[in-house]
Structure 1
Amino acid sequence: MKKTLVLVRHATAEDQNFRTKDFDRNLNSKGLAEAEAMGKWLAGSGIRPDVFVTSPASRAYKTAEIIAGELGVNASSLITNAEIYDGGPQSYLNAVNAVPENFSMLMLFGHNPDITYFAEYLTGSNLGSMKKGSMAMIDFEGLNWAEISAKTGNLNLYKTPREVREAE
C-alpha cells in the first residue's frame, strides 16, 4: 500500500528576541496568511491526511492548527511530538516509523534545517532550504511506515506559500 508523507515547515514567525524563548515564538501576520493559504490550497487539491503530527513549538503548532482547520480537522486530533522541536532529523524518522499502518497519509509539521535535511534524506533530492510555510509531498511505494528510511521515497510535489498565492 502506498504511503504519503507531507512535510510542512512552520510558517513565518516573529523574530527571536531576548524576551521570548525560541520555543514560544508565534506566527506573525505573514505567517498566519501563509498557513491559511496553504491550508486552502491543500483542501482545494483534495489532499486529506489521515494523521497530523507536529512539533509542540508555538509556531509549528499554530501552522498545523490553521492547516488542519482549513481541511476540516479538529485541532484536538493534532498529535504533538516534543522530539521534533530540536531532536534532529532522526526524531522525524522516529515519528514517521511509529505511525500506525492503518494510516496512509501523514502530515508532519516541523522546523528548519532538520525538516529540509529529512526530506532530502528520504528522497535524495536537493531542496536547498524549505521555505517558511512550504510543503514537500513524498510518496513511498510498497513500504510500511516502519520501513521508511534513506532514499526510499519519491518527492512528488514541493509547494511554497508564494506559489500558492500566485496561482490564485
Structure 2
Amino acid sequence: MKTLLIVRHAKSSWEYPVDDKDRTLKLRGIKDAHLVANHIADKINTPDVIYSSIANRALHTCAIFTRCLNYPFEKVVIKESMYDFGGSGLVETIKSCDDAVDTLMVFGHNHAITAVVNTYGSKLFDNVPTSGAVVIQFETDSWKTINDGSTILKVFPKDLK
C-alpha cells in the first residue's frame, strides 16, 4: 500500500515586487499552516520522504509541517518539477518515487494540487485551499501504478476555525 500526503502551500503575499518563486507567506498563511500541521500530526504516519517545490512559499509551508511532524527538514527533497501548476510535473514526480517509500508527502501549487487530488482520490473538491492537506491511499506496491486511490483524510484551515 502507498500513502500520498498532498499539501498546497500556505497563503502567500503579493506585497513585494519579487519573482514568483521568491514570494513569501502572509501571516495568515503561517498561522493556517501551523493549524493544519498540528491537527494532522497525530493522524498520519510520519512520511518516509517529503518532496517540495523550489518556491519559497512551498518551502516555508514544508518547514512548518516538518517541525510539527518531527521530520528533519534537511531530509526534504527539493524538486524543480514540483514547481508545477498544471499537474503533469507533480504526477511525474510522484510516479517516479522509489517503491521502497510507502508514505510520500508533497508540497506544491494549485491547480496541480486540486487536479491530482481529484484525479487520484475518491472525493472531489472544487478547490484545495492554501494550507489544505489531503491524504490518499493506493492499493499498490508501486508508485508507477497508482490509480483510483481512496481519500482517507481532508483537512482545510476553515475546518479548524
TM-score normalised by the shorter chain: which range applies? over 0.9
Equivalent residue for 2:40? 42
For residues 46 and 84 of structure 1, the distance between their equivalents in structure 2, rounded to whole angstroms, comes to 22
What is the percent sequence identity of the aligned residues? 27
Equivalent residue for 1:113? 111
For residues 4 and 114 of structure 1, the distance between their equivalents in structure 2, rounded to whole angstroms, comes to 18
For residues 38 and 7 of structure 2, the distance between their equivalents in structure 1, rounded to whole angstroms, comes to 14
Contact 2:99 2:141 in 1 (8 A): no
Cα 1:71–1:82 change in 2 (3 A) is same
What is the total number of aligned residue pairs between the two structures? 161
Q: Describe how 1:21-36 pairs up with structure 2 within 5 A.
A: 21-36=19-34
Cα deviation, 1:109-147, whole Å, max 9, x if unaligned, reads 111111101111113632101011001111101341111
The AA in structure 1 aligned to 2:36 is M
The AA in structure 2 aligned to 1:121 is T
C-alpha deviation, 1:9, in angstroms = 0.3
Equivalent residue for 2:51? 53
User: Normalising by the residue count of structure 1, what TM-score does the alignment of the two structures yield?
Assistant: 0.89
Query: Are residue 8 (structure 1) and residue 4 (structure 2) matched?
Result: no
Query: Are residue 161 (structure 1) and residue 157 (structure 2) matched?
Result: yes
Gaps of 5+ in 2: none
Query: Are residue 20 (structure 1) and residue 18 (structure 2) matched?
Result: yes
Contact 1:16 1:22 in 2 (8 A): no
Indicate the RMSD between aligned Cα atoms, in angstroms.
1.6
Equivalent residue for 1:132? 130
